[in-house]
Structure 1
């Protein structure tokens, strides 16, 4: 199995494990008993917002380190605000919910967490009313980090256009927005590629199906600006910070499609994807056709950061002692 296939399989199967507990509306609830009526699904999902957060087992094996929890929760509230949803819990409550859930489920390995909010009860109105009170849940499952697995993926520029600020604001992390990337992903797979790259309404490079993108050319890293139709990625921000720590020049600007074909290196970056090198785009080999030196340095630096070996950004780590 190729590294790209392994990563795809890991992402596809990530949600199959059953934990003992999830957090729902203020208390821990047995995972198997967390139910809603079938009529609560559908219209309520149109407005649902969510986050993906990772907790990594520390290098010392004694703690879980939740990565950038505060930033993820703040973005959840930002998404809810733009969607005009009312979240009935404050940041401290949700922070405690995430840490308490990790402890309750007894994780002693890397764990993925998904805080999410959807309109409470049965929603009959297709256009969910502004100010609707939400249920808030935090779900979790084990995952396998592929930061040290090596390998890369084949990407293709999609015929599907990335959603725009004028239509469905890309800065909102809403389930409905992800259908855009889903269409692009299915097209890429049908045509023999691993992942899509989407262009925006100005035919400039935007992002992948759930991950931001950066290219390396002549020792400089270039990534599409936040006004290019990208989600303001927390991993993106992390990577740009790490690059500056490494003394690498970084530019955020509009990126032309043809620049992808001339890149020395190319990589996706996102919470689920971590750092995923692209070894071919539209059938053209990127660099030498293997993960490049900067991508490998970044993966190593990211690993050291999330495992607690690099203390320069310790404020990004929320410690949860192992049970």
Structure 2
């Protein structure tokens, strides 16, 4: 049974009433009061950057943020490349995340999104370098999908992944995601759930919001960071877990035809976690069901993020009560 596109889209969608609080520019504001003028959206949106962070409820009731500092550092990396000025430190944003989650009283899994956009009324199409940003952190409940007995159908897109020479993919910017949106709409029109994009060299890049990996003859292979992929924290997590377990893993350029010969394929990302791909361009992947390596990785990842593993406890940040 495949995960349908609309069902998977609910991974990072509100499943409950809107939260009471949103963090904005250093303080908690009530949801309905967190407003800007419509004319302040426009061009400022083209420069907006963001992060997606998950907080998982542990078995003992603690709320655990997964690799919080790595996500926040990547936000600052995006700001540097986009030449934006974030008027807060990493420690400030860390505290902001804690304050927001406590203020909204979460006792369940939550998705946290820090984002920044140039402040004030921006009328220039070219947002000036060094623009001071407003910084917002919002949050909503999410539903994890640890059941990897199901998978999704993928198709190679005719849309090309944006190039580092045009719009750097390693920047987590809202504008970059229009590339994936076009590919996603095409995939659904063609009867697939999700697309896989190729880069300007016609090598495999990533999905519309997640990296991709294949398994062949027991070796896990994923496109290199120079293949037009986001510097994914989930990708790094999986590669490190494999390496520490002594399992064969390779980062390199990947040909499209390798997808058709793979024993297993899967997406990996913060929102998607580990999502098996059971068909590619209408061809079954392996036996047409999630394979053993994918299932094992998904189980290890689920144990890790919920504090059920003794591996990399330093990746977990407990939300102070």
State the TM-score, normalizing by the size of structure 1: 0.96
Deviation per CA, 1:111-170, whole angstroms, max 9, x where unpaired?
A: 000000000011011110000000000000000000235310000000000000110001
The CA distance in 2 between the partners of 1:125 and 1:217, in whole Å, is 50
Show the counterpart of 1:101: 100
Is the contact made by 1:17 and 1:142 (CA closer than 8 Å) also made in structure 2?
no
Tell me by how many angstroms 1:277 deviates: 0.4
Q: Which moved more, 1:24-33 or 1:148-157?
A: 148-157
1:110 and 2:109 are equivalent in the alignment: yes
Query: After the TM superposition, which residues 170-249 of structure 1 pair with which residues of structure 2 at under 5 Å, given as runs?
Result: 170-249=169-248
Q: Within 2, Cα distance between the matches of 1:255 and 1:17? A: 43
Map 1:132-171 to 2 at 5 A.
Answer: 132-148=131-147, 150-171=149-170
Give CA-to-partner distance per residue, 1:232-251, whole Å, 9 cap, x none: 00000011112223331110
- How far apart are residue 3 of structure 1 and its match? 3.0
2:11–2:143 Cα contact (<8 Å) kept: no
1:51-130 aligned within 5 A:
51-61=51-61, 63-130=62-129
Unaligned runs of 5+ in 2: none
Q: Which residue of 2 aligns with 1:281?
A: 280
Q: How does 1:254-265 map to 2 (within 5 A)?
A: 254-265=253-264
Q: Report the alpha carbon displacement of residue 199 of structure 1 after superposing the two structures with TM.
A: 0.2
The number of aligned residues is 321
Per-residue displacement from partner, 1:44-73 (whole Å, max 9, x unpaired)? 000000000000001222x10000000000
Shift in CA distance, 13/91, structure 1 to aligned 2, threshold 3 Å: closer
Question: Partner residue of 2:130?
Answer: 131
* Contact preservation (8 Å) 2:11, 2:144: no
The separation in 1 between residues aligned to 2:258 and 2:20, in whole angstroms, is 48
Cross-structure match for 1:30: 30
The 1:313–1:89 alpha-carbon spacing in structure 2 relative to 1, beyond 3 Å, is same
Alpha-carbon spacing, 1:5–1:47, altered in 2? closer, same or farther (3 Å): closer
Match of residue 294 from structure 2: 295
Question: 1:4 touches 1:151 (CA, 8 Å); kept in 2?
Answer: no
User: Does the CA-based 8 Å contact 1:263-1:287 persist in structure 2?
Assistant: yes
1:282 deviation in Å?
0.4
Q: Tell me, what secondary structure is at the counterpart of 2:113?
A: strand
CA distance in 1 between partners of 2:235 and 2:14 (Å): 21
Gaps of 5+ in 1: none
Contact preservation (8 Å) 2:65, 2:316: yes
CA–CA distance in 2 between the matches of 1:147 and 1:233? 20
User: Are the equivalent residues in 1 in contact too, given 2:57–2:63 (CA < 8 A)?
Assistant: yes
| Offset, 1:12 | 6.4
**TM-fit CA distance, 1:304:** 0.6
After superposition, give the CA deviation of every residue in 1:206-248 in whole Å (9 maximum; x if it has no partner).
0000100000000000000000000000000011112223331
Deviation at 1:15, TM superposition (A): 7.5
What SS class does the counterpart of residue 3 from structure 1 fall into?
coil
Matched, 1:3 2:6: no
| Partner-residue secondary structure (3-state), 1:176 | helix
Q: TM-score, normalised by structure 2?
A: 0.97
